[in-house]
């Protein structure tokens, strides 16, 4: 199998087209069309459904070195005549995901995982909207944005979809949820959880097991106290700090990452510019040096779902 695939010397476009054909072969019986540009599309009443792809310009396959990367982003949209993406399923791996397997063929396991998500989070939603739009919208929870548990994909809903399917009586629920979503407290949770799933594979687990949580809590306190005296302090900073302090000590691994999320990405660059913050910056950089594993991550070929 491996020798045969190498002899064929498939291009990155070949790999991408194989994935597209697998997805389209399952959508075609449902009335979908494959366009010349590679998009997959279907129109039904006032709504248009489409699935489209973005390929990385860095894609490559080197058969001599037995290495390669074919990364792509996949978007599933419901459009109205007035606006695109009134409902959207977006696969949100950090810098997309690799559909090339280790033996330089299409990663069909990953494609099957993608297909299951498309079925559950896109096709079933479409079917529900066509049968009973109000019931289907209530089933989604009417949140403007929702994420998978591991943040590997994102779901978004816009008010124009409610208007297009005649469910304007639900707009008050959508508005309430939108206000909650925009709140500093919810933004802090989303930011931290997303960061956690982005960085967790680069974290030194042994360090997390032995580091003093009390010392890290003190570091967060010092950073917070300093920020309160600057124009960098705002409601989001407060919400982030309170979220970090609320982590149960029983979840040691996540607690350590939460402190790092608070003091490093958004704060450390600011500390560098302030001569009065050098003592905190030194602690933060020392924290980074011990926590983050300094080696290239293996290209992700499967989604953790």
User: Do the domain assignments include residue 302?
Assistant: no
Show Cβ contacts of residue 183 under 8 Å, excluding neighbours closer than 6 positions. 239
Instruction: Enter the pTM of the model.
Output: 0.79
User: Do the domain assignments include residue 304?
Assistant: no
Distance CA 24, CA 275 (A): 58
Q: Which single residue is written with the structure tokens 């206000």?
A: 179
Q: Judge if 28 and 165 occupy the same domain.
A: yes
User: Do the domain assignments include residue 114?
Assistant: yes
Q: What phi and psi, each to the nearest 5 degrees, are found at residue 100? A: -95, 130
Distance CA 23, CA 111 (A): 8
Distance CA 144, CA 159 (A): 8
What is the full per-residue pLDDT of the chain (305 aa) written as tens digits?
Answer: 444 444 478 999 999 999 999 999 999 999 999 999 999 999 999 999 999 998 888 899 999 999 999 999 899 999 999 999 999 999 866 556 889 999 999 999 999 999 999 999 999 999 999 999 999 999 999 999 998 888 889 999 999 999 999 999 999 999 999 999 999 999 999 999 989 988 888 999 999 999 999 999 999 999 999 889 888 899 999 999 999 999 887 889 999 999 999 998 767 777 777 888 888 889 999 999 999 987 544 433 334 43
Q: Judge if 134 and 46 occupy the same domain.
A: yes
Q: Judge if 233 and 175 occupy the same domain.
A: no
Q: Judge if 177 and 194 occupy the same domain.
A: no
User: Do the domain assignments include residue 229?
Assistant: yes
The number of folded domains in the chain is 2
Distance CA 144, CA 105 (A): 37
Show Cβ contacts of residue 16 under 8 Å, excluding neighbours closer than 6 positions. 53, 55, 59, 70, 72, 99
Final residue before a domain boundary, out of 182, 215, 239: 182
Q: Judge if 257 and 173 occupy the same domain.
A: no
Q: Enter the tokens of residue 52.
A: 């489209």
Q: Judge if 12 and 153 occupy the same domain.
A: yes
Distance CA 261, CA 257 (A): 6
Q: Enter the tokens of residue 24.
A: 């389209």
Supply the range of the domain harboring residue 231: 187-291
Q: Judge if 166 and 211 occupy the same domain.
A: no
Q: Judge if 204 and 254 occupy the same domain.
A: yes
Final residue before a domain boundary, out of 130, 148, 182: 182
Q: Do 56 and 98 contact (CB within 8 A), yes or no?
A: no
Final residue before a domain boundary, out of 165, 182, 199: 182
Q: Judge if 53 and 175 occupy the same domain.
A: yes
Q: Judge if 178 and 229 occupy the same domain.
A: no
Q: Which single residue is written with the structure tokens 């779901």?
A: 155
User: Do the domain assignments include residue 305?
Assistant: no
């Amino acid at each position: 199998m491996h020798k045969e695939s190498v002899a064929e010397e498939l291009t990155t476009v070949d790999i991408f087209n194989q994935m597209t054909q697998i997805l389209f072969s399952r959508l075609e019986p449902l009335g979908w069309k494959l366009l010349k540009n590679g998009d997959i599309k279907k129109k039904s009443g006032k709504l248009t459904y489409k699935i489209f792809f973005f390929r990385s310009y860095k894609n490559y396959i080197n058969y001599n070195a037995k290495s390669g990367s074919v990364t792509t982003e996949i978007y599933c949209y419901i459009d109205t005549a007035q606006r695109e993406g009134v409902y959207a399923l977006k696969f949100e791996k950090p810098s997309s995901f690799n559909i090339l397997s280790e033996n330089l063929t299409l990663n069909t396991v990953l494609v099957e995982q993608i297909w299951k998500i498309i079925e559950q989070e896109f096709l079933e939603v479409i079917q529900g909207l066509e049968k009973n739009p109000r019931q289907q919208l209530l089933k989604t929870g009417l949140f403007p944005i929702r994420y998978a548990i591991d943040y590997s994909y994102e779901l978004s809903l816009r008010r124009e979809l409610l208007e297009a399917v005649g469910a304007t009586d639900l707009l008050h629920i959508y508005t309430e949820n939108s206000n909650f979503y925009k709140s500093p407290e919810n933004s802090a949770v989303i930011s931290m959880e997303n960061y956690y799933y982005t960085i967790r594979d680069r974290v030194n687990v042994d360090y997390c097991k032995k580091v003093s949580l009390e010392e890290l809590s003190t570091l967060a306190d010092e950073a917070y106290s300093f920020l309160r005296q600057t124009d960098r302090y705002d409601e989001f900073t407060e919400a982030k700090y309170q979220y970090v302090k609320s982590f149960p000590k029983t979840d040691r691994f996540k607690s350590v990452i939460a402190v790092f999320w608070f003091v490093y990405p958004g704060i450390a660059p600011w500390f560098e510019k302030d001569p009065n913050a050098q003592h905190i910056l030194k602690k933060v950089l020392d924290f980074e040096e011990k926590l983050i594993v300094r080696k290239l991550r293996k290209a992700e070929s499967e989604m953790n779902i």
